[in-house]
Amino acid sequence: MELLKRLPKVDRLLEAPEIRSYLTEAPQVLIVEAIRETLEQLRTDIRNGKAGEADLAFETIVRSAAIQCAEAAARSLRRAVNGVGIVLHTGMGRAPLAESAQAALADAIVHYNTLQADRQTGGRGNRYIHVESLLCRLTGAEATLVVNNNAAATMLILNTLGEGQEVIVSRGELVEIGGAFRIPDVMRRSGARLCEVGATNRTHLKDYREAITAETGILLKVHQSNYRIIGFSKDVSIAELSVLAGEHGIYAVDDLGSGALIDLSRWGLPKEPMVQDSIAAGADAVCFSGDKLIGGPQCGIIVGKKEVIDKMKKNPLTRALRCGKLTFSALEATLRLFLDEKQLLVENPCIRMLTEQVDEIKKRCQRLRRRLLALESDRLQVDVIADRSEVGSGALAAVQLDTFVIAITVKGLSPDALARKLRMGDPIVFGRIKDERFLLDGRTLREDEFNLIRSALGRVLLEMH
Ligand SMILES: *Cc1c(COP(=O)(O)O)cnc(C)c1O
């Protein structure tokens, strides 16, 4: 136990220049804690006979404490490079925002604003007006409401229009979205009762008609976002459901999930149901995510008939589910881009990534390859190869897009080990593994990230010497 006594004091480590520099980057408590953890780990290693003379050199201890300090100094939620190729990656924050949305956000973060201040009267106004006319213009709806996410939107609609009543849904549409969002569970929580109709693969209009009773409040259609029923299948359109609901004085509601505002099939993607079509078909309320195919901030958008939306605005749940100024500022800027399609295709990052031509992606991969080869390591092999990437986030389920990737091999490291080092390093880089190779997908990479990738890979190679 002689060795234990030789461990340096926390104060002495704090004075080492490599560690002291972190004090300007992070609160002292965090740095002290990181040093204590390093020393504690060493104590454990000594007791277990895993640490010897060499591990106790002051410089060695400083080096491992500095690594812990770097981790402690960095924020937990931070920038990462998406080389996975999934454009709407929920784990990586879904949609990166357009520049105009960034500017609006920066303004809203720093200054006071007109969130709910009525400029005409000087009194308190309404926070929904900033996006209401835009959303009505884009979708043809009479009124809109924005809440925290689409799960909240679904909950609010069911609670407002269906509490204590029956909601009829096709068995083919009882979906589970990632993160334990299941239509039957949401229904129960909302106070509405689920009434399932049809079969998993086929549901007919008469199934809904025969299920309607005096207790029925809503006919609900849910978009099969993240799966497809193919083959002998049939579902009932929102147009047919709207007519049927109208005949019985009940509501027709469409949960679209992704909610496309433009038709991406013009770029070779499959046709997603569009919000404006559901409104034109007569739906009373339609809901969709702000951060899926819209490419905006996280939120749930409800559009529909004024009388129906007004009911929801009066529901006390709306207050609990409401969004803040950051969401409204980013959403307004995002939606404005949809008024000009040319601008939208260039400036909305998600739509740009989804519609980009594959030879552009290939060229980008080739430029990145050259940049990485400039690291001049004989351990490193970089190839540009054709592959397929996913859209993600339940949008355009089961759709794979042609893409190009760069495949990186580092001699002496397995693909898993390389992936882990790049994930755990700084800058943080995520990729995918296929056929024993680590891949970075050019579809979701940006030119201004090349330096980050190079420095992340450079660090990995350096550590191997
Ligand atoms: C994604 C999705 C949701 C959940 O939306 P969030 O914005 O993630 O809360 C709900 N319903 C459908 C059909 C979806 O695709």
The whole-angstrom separation of Cα 278 and Cα 281 is 5
CA of 392 to the centre of ligand 1 (A): 12
Taking only the tens place, the pLDDT of each residue in 229-249 is 778 888 999 999 999 999 999
- pLDDT, average across residues 4-29: 93
Q: Which among 362, 406, 389 has a CA at the least distance from the CA of 87?
A: 389
CA of 150 to the centre of ligand 1 (A): 5
Architecture of domain 99-347: 3-Layer(aba) Sandwich (3.40)
Q: Which among 146, 176, 177 is the best mutation to test ligand 1's pocket, defined by most ligand atoms within 8 Å of the CB?
A: 177
What separation in angstroms does the CA of 418 have from each of 236, 253, 384, 409, 414?
Answer: 48, 47, 18, 8, 6
CA of 72 to the centre of ligand 1 (A): 34
Residue 224 scores a pLDDT above 80: yes
Q: Which among 150, 174, 287 is the best mutation to test ligand 1's pocket, defined by most ligand atoms within 8 Å of the CB?
A: 150
- Band of pLDDT at residue 394, cut at 50, 70 and 90: low
Least confident of 320-324, 418-422, 423-427: 423-427
Q: What is the pLDDT of residue 85?
A: 95
Question: CB neighbours (10 Å) of residue 189?
Answer: 11
Q: What is the pLDDT of residue 397?
A: 62
Q: What is the pLDDT of residue 391?
A: 80
Taking only the tens place, the pLDDT of each residue in 162-188 is 999 999 999 999 888 776 788 888 899
CA of 105 to the centre of ligand 1 (A): 24
Taking only the tens place, the pLDDT of each residue in 96-126 is 999 999 999 999 999 999 999 999 999 999 9
Q: Number of helices (H) and strands (E) in the chain: give both, helices first.
A: 20, 15
Residue 395 scores a pLDDT above 70: no
Q: Which among 88, 225, 298 is the best mutation to test ligand 1's pocket, defined by most ligand atoms within 8 Å of the CB?
A: 225
Please state, rounded to an integer, the average pLDDT across all residues of the chain.
94
Domain range annotation of the chain:
2-73, 80-91+354-463, 99-347
Report the pocket of ligand 1 as residue ranges, CB < 6 Å.
149-151, 154, 175, 177, 181, 222-223, 225, 255, 257-258, 289, 300, 394
The whole-angstrom separation of Cα 197 and Cα 204 is 9
Q: Is-same-fold flag (80-91+354-463; 99-347)?
A: no
Architecture of domain 80-91+354-463: Alpha-Beta Complex (3.90)
Region of 296 (left: φ > 0; alpha: ψ -120 to 50; beta: rest) is beta
- pLDDT, average across residues 213-239: 89
| Virtual torsion, Cα 167, 171, 176, 182, nearest 10 deg | 30
Taking only the tens place, the pLDDT of each residue in 426-442 is 899 999 999 999 999 99
- pLDDT, average across residues 328-344: 98
Counting residues of the chain whose pLDDT is more than 70, the rounded percentage is 98
- pLDDT, average across residues 250-261: 95
